[in-house]
């Protein structure tokens, strides 16, 4: 089968998860990488046996490259996506799509104008955990979804990330960083969002880096670090979400629960591909674990790229699309706008619920 050639731009912390050849798919291969800091690209190319390490400009000018995976920091996402599209490449970017909805819209519109694909993480909703949850909802096991809750409670990334500054600048914060996993899963399960409300706060105006190599340096916090949001879906279901970098995690709160007229679904951590799916039906007193209906429970990053590559080869829509990511980005910004203005925020965008994966796929192939 034809394999599309892929180049990675941004060789930092997350890049290894994409470059890991143990997780390969039959429709694409990563052949080149680039970074602002060329030595980082050279080191990754050596570690993962890539044919080429080069500058961003050289990678974008390479006629062999079909798809660019953009793994730069959020503040550079739009610039690199637009450059890749203008160079005639399809692009797949890490979350969030962009740091503002205006920038995100530019990516969606340029891709459409050029007839190229733009895709965006997260792709965890294509994993067996969320796909099993989607199947249960679609098959009516909880009846009509009435509401959902989602919680991401943590103390921030400065205790492990080597360069955590960007998580506290515009485009960072717990909602822009972790919200995409939760909101994408909710939209994939329940459908698009009509309006949101929110309240935000910032507990610590400065934060100390606790990881190496920048241990002890202070970060100026420019964004809210505790964000509580309400969502009304087009279906009428109501969602509640809290994302925090200010609180200690390990609480008894679930990651995601979906409440329906006939039962409740416990959905696994949307920052993983697998996890335990549990259901309690109207006539039962206990939750029971449901075996996964779908594979890719250990898929790791790259599943969304594989789906987009296969979609390019087959001509079908891809699932982790920039349109979906743009809708999620607008909701994330909407929580902050609603908080600042003391009002609801009416969504201007909508999106299709991504088509669920079919049953019975192998662990290296997506559907044609
Ligand atoms: N670290 C994680 O665990 C993780 C997990 C999921 C998603 N992400 C997302 O992945 C992206 C990258 O995160 P990371 O943790 O790898 O960050 P990082 O800071 O470790 O790496 C970013 C890399 O991009 C390079 N870069 C920055 N601007 C560039 C530009 N204009 N052109 C070329 N290269 C540029 C930097 O030199 C650096 O090597 C972010 O969007 C983040 O939200 C990270």
The full DSSP string for 29-97 is: EEEEEE-SSHHHHHHHHHHTT-SEEE-HHHHHH-TT--EEEE-S-HHHHHHHHHHHHHTT-EEEEPSSS
132 Cα to the center of ligand 1, angstroms: 30
Does the beta carbon of 11 lie inside 6 Å of ligand 1?
Answer: yes
pLDDT of residue 69: 98
What atom in ligand 1 is closest to the CA of residue 74?
Answer: 41
Pair (164, 42) in one structural domain: no
pLDDT of residue 23: 73
The 10s digit of each residue's pLDDT in 190-247 is 999 999 999 999 999 999 999 999 999 999 999 999 999 999 999 999 999 999 999 9
pLDDT of residue 24: 85
Separation between Cα atoms, residue 315 and residue 295, nearest integer Å: 23
Give percent above pLDDT 70 in the chain.
Answer: 100
Average pLDDT over every residue of 16-30: 89
Pair (42, 57) in one structural domain: yes
Our count of domains for the chain comes to: 2
Separation between Cα atoms, residue 74 and residue 64, nearest integer Å: 26
Pair (24, 111) in one structural domain: yes
39 Cα to the center of ligand 1, angstroms: 15
What atom in ligand 1 is closest to the CA of residue 93?
Answer: 41
CATH number, residue 116: 3.40.50.720
Confidence band, pLDDT 50/70/90 cuts, at residue 1: confident
In a domain, 331, yes or no: no
pLDDT of residue 152: 97
Pair (32, 73) in one structural domain: yes
Average pLDDT over every residue of 147-168: 96
323 Cα to the center of ligand 1, angstroms: 22
pLDDT of residue 37: 97
Pair (255, 133) in one structural domain: yes
Does the beta carbon of 119 lie inside 6 Å of ligand 1?
Answer: no
In a domain, 357, yes or no: no
Average pLDDT over every residue of 15-38: 92
Q: What is the mean pLDDT of the chain?
A: 96
Tokens of residue 188, six digits? 């994939």
Pair (132, 57) in one structural domain: no
Distance set, CA 7 to CA 19, 32, 124 (Å): 10, 5, 21
Pair (316, 275) in one structural domain: no
The 10s digit of each residue's pLDDT in 319-354 is 999 999 999 999 999 999 999 999 999 999 999 999
Does the beta carbon of 74 lie inside 6 Å of ligand 1?
Answer: yes
Name the residue at shortest CA distance from atom 30 of ligand 1: 36
In a domain, 295, yes or no: no
Give percent above pLDDT 90 in the chain.
Answer: 95
Name the residue at shortest CA distance from atom 6 of ligand 1: 14
In a domain, 29, yes or no: yes
Q: 277-281 and 263-267 as β-strands: parallel, antiparallel, unpaired?
A: antiparallel
Compute φ and ψ for 322, nearest 5 degrees.
-65, -30
Confidence band, pLDDT 50/70/90 cuts, at residue 300: confident
Does the beta carbon of 14 lie inside 6 Å of ligand 1?
Answer: yes
Q: Give yes or no for residue 22 having a pLDDT over 90.
A: no
In a domain, 330, yes or no: no
166 Cα to the center of ligand 1, angstroms: 9
Looking at 79-83, 108-112, 297-301, which range is the least confident one? 297-301
> Under a CB-based contact definition with an 8 Å cutoff, are residues 263 and 279 in contact?
yes
pLDDT of residue 249: 83
In a domain, 238, yes or no: yes
7 Cα to the center of ligand 1, angstroms: 15
Pair (205, 110) in one structural domain: no
Does the beta carbon of 72 lie inside 6 Å of ligand 1?
Answer: yes
Q: Find the domain containing 220 and state its range.
A: 128-290
Q: Give yes or no for residue 9 having a pLDDT over 80.
A: yes
pLDDT of residue 68: 98
Q: Give yes or no for residue 33 having a pLDDT over 90.
A: yes
pLDDT of residue 363: 87
pLDDT of residue 2: 86
Name the residue at shortest CA distance from atom 40 of ligand 1: 73
361 Cα to the center of ligand 1, angstroms: 31
Pair (264, 146) in one structural domain: yes
CATH number, residue 280: 3.30.360.10
Does the beta carbon of 98 lie inside 6 Å of ligand 1?
Answer: no
What atom in ligand 1 is closest to the CA of residue 72?
Answer: 24
Average pLDDT over every residue of 69-81: 98
Name the residue at shortest CA distance from atom 14 of ligand 1: 13
Pair (233, 313) in one structural domain: no
Separation between Cα atoms, residue 191 and residue 232, nearest integer Å: 10
In a domain, 367, yes or no: no
CA dihedral sign, ordered 79, 118, 102, 124 = negative
In a domain, 140, yes or no: yes
Does the beta carbon of 40 lie inside 6 Å of ligand 1?
Answer: yes
């Amino acid at each position: 089968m034809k394999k599309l050639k892929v180049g990675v731009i941004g060789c930092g912390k997350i890049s290894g998860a994409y470059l890991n050849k143990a997780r390969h798919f039959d429709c694409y291969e990563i052949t080149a990488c680039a970074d602002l800091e060329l030595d980082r690209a050279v080191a990754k190319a050596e570690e993962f046996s890539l044919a080429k390490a080069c500058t961003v400009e050289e990678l974008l000018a390479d006629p062999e490259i079909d798809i660019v995976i953009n793994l730069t920091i959020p503040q550079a996402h739009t610039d690199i996506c637009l450059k890749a599209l203008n160079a005639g490449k399809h692009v797949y970017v890490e979350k969030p799509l962009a740091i503002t909805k205006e920038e995100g819209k530019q990516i969606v519109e340029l891709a459409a104008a050029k007839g190229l694909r733009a895709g965006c993480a997260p792709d965890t909703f294509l994993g067996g955990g969320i796909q099993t949850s989607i199947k249960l909802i679609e098959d009516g096991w909880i009846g009509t979804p009435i509401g959902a809750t989602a919680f991401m409670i943590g103390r921030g990334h400065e205790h492990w990330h080597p360069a955590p500054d960007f998580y506290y600048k515009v485009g960072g914060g717990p909602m822009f960083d972790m919200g995409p996993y939760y909101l994408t899963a909710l939209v994939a399960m329940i459908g698009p969002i009509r309006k949101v409300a929110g309240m935000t706060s910032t507990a610590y105006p400065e934060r100390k880096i606790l990881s190496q190599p920048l241990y002890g340096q202070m970060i100026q916090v420019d964004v809210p670090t505790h964000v509580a949001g309400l969502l009304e879906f087009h279906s009428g279901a109501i969602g509640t979400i809290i994302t925090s970098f200010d609180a200690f995690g390990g609480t008894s709160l679930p990651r995601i629960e979906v409440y329906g007229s006939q039962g409740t679904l416990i959905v696994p951590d949307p920052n993983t591909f697998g996890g335990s799916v549990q259901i309690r039906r109207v006539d039962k007193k206990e939750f029971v674990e449901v075996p996964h209906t779908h594979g890719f429970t250990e898929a790791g990053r790259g599943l969304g790229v594989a789906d987009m590559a296969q979609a390019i080869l087959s001509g079908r829509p891809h699932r982790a699309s920039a349109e979906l990511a743009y809708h999620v980005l607008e909701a994330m910004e909407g929580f902050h706008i609603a908080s600042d203005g003391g009002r609801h925020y009416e969504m201007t965008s909508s999106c299709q619920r991504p088509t669920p994966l079919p049953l019975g796929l192998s662990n290296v192939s997506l559907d044609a």
